[in-house]
A = this chain, B = another copy of it.
Amino acid sequence: MTMSPIDPGLIERHNADRRKHLDADYASLGERLSRRGVDIDAIARKVSAFTVAVPSWGVGTGGTRFARFPGPGEPRGIFEKLDDCAVIQALGRATPAVSLHIPWDKADPAELKGRADALGLRFDAMNSNTFQDHPSDPNQPLSYKFGSLSHADRAVREQAVAHNVETIRIGTAIGSKAITVWIGDGTNFAGQADLGRSFDRYLESMRAIVAALPSDWRVFTEHKMYEPAFYSTVVSDWGTNLMIAQELGEKAFCLVDLGHHAPNTNIEQIVSRLIRAKKLGGFHFNDSRYGDDDLDAGSIDPFRLFLVFNELVGAGEALDRLHPTHMIDQSHNVTDPIESLIRSANEIRRAYAQALLVDRAALTGYQDANDAMMGSETLKNAFRTDVEPILAKARVDAGGAIDPIAAYRGSGYRAKVAAERPASVGGGGGIV
């Protein structure tokens, strides 16, 4: 039996007050969809089956290089983070898995597994960290200031490889089946490093990591245009990422973070290309306007999120074979992280539900006839549909809340943990 940090009775009472309107809205939407030939229950079932992992670090307040403004009741370690993740899952029912970050979440694997089992959670892809120094860690005497897997010094590269191997080992013990490798390696000045030799060194290091993967594991490499490096970045774009996955072989796939591209980039086309190349590994969901802003999914450009899911749904079996991973990767600087993660998971499901509503036969017909107007409108019609009744139905049927943010606020959870967890000290680091 799952031990829940949220009283199930509270959720029941919350839903009881809202059930009548939900049923009416679901029926009304169902009627409208049936006119389009869509069975609302079939959509609801697919939505129910769609889940997205939450990042362990996402339940803490994020920040920028200028400052971090902690909120009350921040989790002080991985076990409190898991508690918060369980709240998100209890109310939203879209996030049964958590993605750990090593060394931040280092703990006894058996204890991790035990706590997750008790909370009804499981572990998604592991994340290694070679973009920071960990001076207190005796396994990491060398600095990553000038890179990690691509560092000019072989000893640093070996240390970074060893850290990834250790992360895989921990993941194996807790039931994970994949590792995501994102590095900050790059340069701030033309001439600081050789662009070609750095890439060669990176590939050599990655081959060593791939060699350490269990047979049923995958590795996801993640590209990013810039930050923390501001002139060049070793794994900067999907083209580079594709070269990496091709070199590393059948266990290697490309991870797409929606905020890691150049301005104006058509991300859904990258998704399409990676599906064709059989190298789409999955997503880090978030939203952004400027750079890697790590805002809540769908908050800046909800149509773009829909278009990404339109590619995924449209790919059909080609995607099924790839079974990409879905994870949220956000920085919650001004909201309660639990609320942002509940909302974001729901927005991701919203985009998925809307994409399921696209009339694909009609779309193909318009496309083959070069009817740009109706091809465009076919997507817009699906996007404009207010699918919230479907999302709420999926939640409530699985034991979640009709209005999970309201239910969360009603639960008093944040106040409770604020009382239990002393405030972390310090805010900004004076980095300008």
**A370: nearest chain-B partner, CB-CB:** B146
Confirm or deny: A4 has a beta carbon within 8 angstroms of a beta carbon on chain B: no
Q: How many identical chains are in the complex?
A: 4
A66 touches B264 (CB 8 A): no
Confirm or deny: A184 has a beta carbon within 8 angstroms of a beta carbon on chain B: yes
Which residues does chain B contribute within 8 Å of A364, judged by CB atoms?
A: 194
Which A residues contact B (CB, under 8 angstroms)?
21, 25, 28, 32, 35, 57, 60, 62-69, 101, 104, 131-135, 143-146, 152, 184, 187-197, 199-200, 225-228, 230-233, 236-240, 242-243, 261-266, 268-270, 272-273, 275-277, 288-291, 293-296, 299-304, 307, 310-311, 314-315, 329, 331, 333-336, 339-340, 343, 363-364, 366-370, 372-380, 383-386, 388, 405, 425-432
Residue in contact with A373 in the complex, picked from B68, B144, B343, CB distance below 8 Å: B343
A432 touches B236 (CB 8 A): no
Cβ of A263 to closest chain B Cβ, rounded Å: 4
Cβ of A25 to closest chain B Cβ, rounded Å: 7
Q: Which of A192, A275, A363, A425 has the most CB of B within 10 A?
A: A192
A69 touches B145 (CB 8 A): yes
Residue in contact with A265 in the complex, picked from B25, B144, B262, B378, CB distance below 8 Å: B262
B273 touches A199 (CB 8 A): yes
A314 touches B21 (CB 8 A): no
Which residues does chain B contribute within 8 Å of A426, judged by CB atoms?
A: 135
Which residues does chain B contribute within 8 Å of A242, judged by CB atoms?
A: 239, 242-243
Which residues does chain B contribute within 8 Å of A143, judged by CB atoms?
A: 69
Tell me the complex Cα distance, A427–B364, Å. Answer: 28
